[in-house]
Amino acid sequence: MKIYHNTRCSKSRQALQLLQDKGAEVEIVEYMKTPVSRDELEHLITTLGIKPYDLLRKGEKIFKESYKDKSPDTYDWIGAMIEHPQLMERPIVVKGAKAVIGRPPELVLNL
């Protein structure tokens, strides 16, 4: 199992703790320190079954300042998340061919 984790995010910390409490072996990817590649992000989005726009944290300052007027369907949102990883919703937990966004954190238990 792999968690795309932001140590500064309480929901991400809660999700990780839930998994650890259940005894899950978890590989932690601190994507703020080591950003994901375009290929990896595209794979995550496909596995989640969502559009890139749906993975954005629209409440982030950088989104409001630089991206709120961009088209949800045609803008390169993957490029925006690579350039500004804080735009990526978190946590994302992947197990095999399944993935969930841990909002609320208890959703990670579905894996």
> Which residues does the annotation mark as catalytic?
9
Phi, psi of 101 (to 5 degrees): -95, 125
89: left (phi over 0), alpha (psi -120 to 50) or beta: beta
Dig out the tokens for 105 from the structure. Answer: 């954190």
Two structure tokens written together for 67:
């991206």
**99, β-bridge pairs:** 94
Spatial CB neighbours of 65, under 8 Å, sequence gap ≥ 6: none
Lookup: tokens for 85: 């990883």
